[in-house]
Structure 1
Amino acid sequence: MQRIGILSDTHGTFDAELEAFFADVDQIWHAGDIGSLELADRIAAFKPLRAVSGNIDCGMTRRVWPEFAAFRCEEVQVLMTHIGGYPRRYDPRAVGRIQSVRPRLFISGHSHILRVAYDPVYDLLAVNPGAAGHFGFHKVRTAVRLTIDGDTMRDMEVGEWPRR
């Protein structure tokens, strides 16, 4: 069993609110627009980190963190990218990866809008955790945590904090 913290679009922010929300997770997954390698290192020092780079991430961050990450957590196949879209409106680059990887959990960021939707076409759960940082058009900062136990995803929770 793994407790997973999911966030995106931190744009250089990982503060006390996020640390408190992720205090009991086993690992953190970041869906891009981290902000800097230094921030990624800080998150990784707090909890084990899986991440992908986003469109605002610099060249060095893109060398360290890939555009797409496909991996298994317990018995759940996961695909994560920054610009992925939503069911029936996926980014064209994501469609090919979804078709080849066949994830049960698809995580993307970029929109700054929290959204969780089941996709019956690809039989997957699409999660966009919204934006956890202070920069962008969003009015509320958000992040997600969930439990993966074997082949089951459960106990999803959303954290919300005001933007400064």
Structure 2
Amino acid sequence: MRVLVLSDTHGLLRPEVLALVREADAVLHAGDVGKVEVLETLRGASAGPVHAIRGNVDRSPPLSGLPETLLLELEGVWIYLLHDLKALDLSPEVAGIRVVISGHTHVPRLEERGGVTSLNPGSVGPRRFRLPVACAWLHVAEAQVRVEPVTLLE
């Protein structure tokens, strides 16, 4: 299963991202969607499910109605989404979570510790400072995961 992991669109959905969405079996958005049209377009372009959580800029309805966190199982792998990793209030190892996905910082980050993959795909929204415009593929098969970072703009 190929899962496209996005974060921090801040209301901007780039054509390069839409092309990736069309290749995905599922899409996970780690918050700061920015505009409901972003989710509508993602859902219209994706052949699979689109899961999104609320970020700190998603303050107005209907985005304010998105869940703050999301726990889901894909292909036997438990995945936990939250916007700001600093707000993590559980032990992924103890909870049986294999992947923790966050956003907020706009800085792509991948770390493996204690059998848990921690992924911040970066931001695919408006460019900030000199940070790359980035997202990631999460490949899930037979209860195993592999992350493939994707840089759209250096």
The two structures have a TM-score, normalised by structure 1, of: 0.84
- CA-to-partner distance for each residue in 1:6-27, whole Å, 9 max, x for gaps? 0100111112111223332111
CA drift at 1:148 = 0.6
> Is contact 1:21-1:159 (8 Å) kept?
no
Match among 134, 139, 158 for residue 149 of structure 2: 158
Shift in CA distance, 45/94, structure 1 to aligned 2, threshold 3 Å: same
Residue 107 of structure 1: aligned partner: 101
Alignment of 1:62-73 (within 5 A): 62-63=64-65, 65-73=66-74
> Is contact 1:117-1:125 (8 Å) kept?
yes
Matching residue's letter, 2:88: A
- Comparing 98-107 and 31-40, the one that deviates more: 98-107
- CA-to-partner distance for each residue in 1:73-95, whole Å, 9 max, x for gaps? 010011001011xxxxxx2x313
- Comparing 54-63 and 72-81, the one that deviates more: 54-63
Identical columns (%): 27
Shift in CA distance, 16/152, structure 1 to aligned 2, threshold 3 Å: same
Alignment of 1:126-145 (within 5 A): 126-145=118-137
SS of 1:18's equivalent in the other structure is helix
Aligned residues: 151
* Deviating 4+ runs (over 4 angstroms): none
- CA-to-partner distance for each residue in 1:5-56, whole Å, 9 max, x for gaps? 0010011111211122333211110000001112111111111210101001
Which consecutive unaligned segments of at least 5 residues does structure 2 have? none
The two structures have a TM-score, normalised by structure 2, of: 0.89
> Is contact 1:112-1:137 (8 Å) kept?
no
SS of 2:37's equivalent in the other structure is helix
